[in-house]
Amino acid sequence: MQFESIWKEYEKPLLNFIKTKVNDDNIGEDIVQEVGIKLHTAIHKNESINNYKSWLFQVTRNTIADYYRKNKIPTTIIKDQPEVTETSISNACVCDLSGFVIQNYLPKQYAEALYLSDIEQKPQKEIAKILDLSLTATKSRIQRGRKKLKELVTDCIEISYNTKGQITGFLLKNDCELPPELITEMGKINLIV
């Protein structure tokens, strides 16, 4: 697929998404241009991108997080947010934090499969090849990894959902003490709890 056709399809939705996270239209334009450059570079280097939409939104979230980090602008976890859609995700790039939690707090056999699936967005057949597993075993590890991650998260975080099952807010439970390395990682993305 050529850069122009991909960018034509996704530039406007990405800019709308960015504008929900950054209050300055000029900065939003800068961020979307930076994402466009990253896409152009990835295509030019023949990087394997299986799902352009997922890849672009992931890169956009990371670029927004980089902007907040670089400018030392704090972001927060907001309790009782309005309905969450692809274009209204929390200011903090929790994708970085999710990857950190998966890699550091789940058993390795589940962490590898889940990280490749949910963070790197690789197809399950490709994950099976990478991990030298059958497709059935790969699917099983991903599902068990998700279950273990959910258990881990719900031990410390109270999550609220809307009627569609989408996350609408989250709050750290008072009786939960976070490990120091997790607090450090949260600080890297300016996430305040």
Q: Which two tokens stand for residue 31?
A: 């961020």
SS3 158: strand
The model's pTM: 0.46
Task: Quote the CA–CA distance of 108 and 95 in Å, as a whole number.
Answer: 19
Task: Quote the CA–CA distance of 5 and 143 in Å, as a whole number.
Answer: 35
Q: Which two tokens stand for residue 125?
A: 């057949």
- Structure confidence at residue 159 (pLDDT): 67
CA 80, 81, 84, 86 dihedral sign is: negative
Q: Where are the alpha helices (DSSP H) in the chain?
A: 3-19, 25-44, 52-70, 94-105, 108-114, 124-131, 135-156, 180-188
- Structure confidence at residue 80 (pLDDT): 34
SS3 148: helix
Q: Which two tokens stand for residue 172?
A: 């750290």
- Structure confidence at residue 149 (pLDDT): 82
Amino acid at 154: T
Task: Quote the CA–CA distance of 90 and 49 in Å, as a whole number.
Answer: 25
- Structure confidence at residue 66 (pLDDT): 80
Q: 9-35: string of b/e by CB count within 10 Å (b at 16+)? A: ebbeebbebbbebbeeeebbeebbebb
Q: Which two tokens stand for residue 13?
A: 């939705």
pLDDT by residue, tens only, the chain of 193 residues: 588 899 998 899 888 888 877 878 899 899 999 999 999 998 888 888 888 888 898 888 888 878 877 776 654 433 333 333 333 334 334 455 677 778 778 888 898 998 888 877 889 999 999 999 999 999 999 999 888 888 877 777 776 666 766 556 666 666 777 667 666 766 655 454 5
- Structure confidence at residue 24 (pLDDT): 83
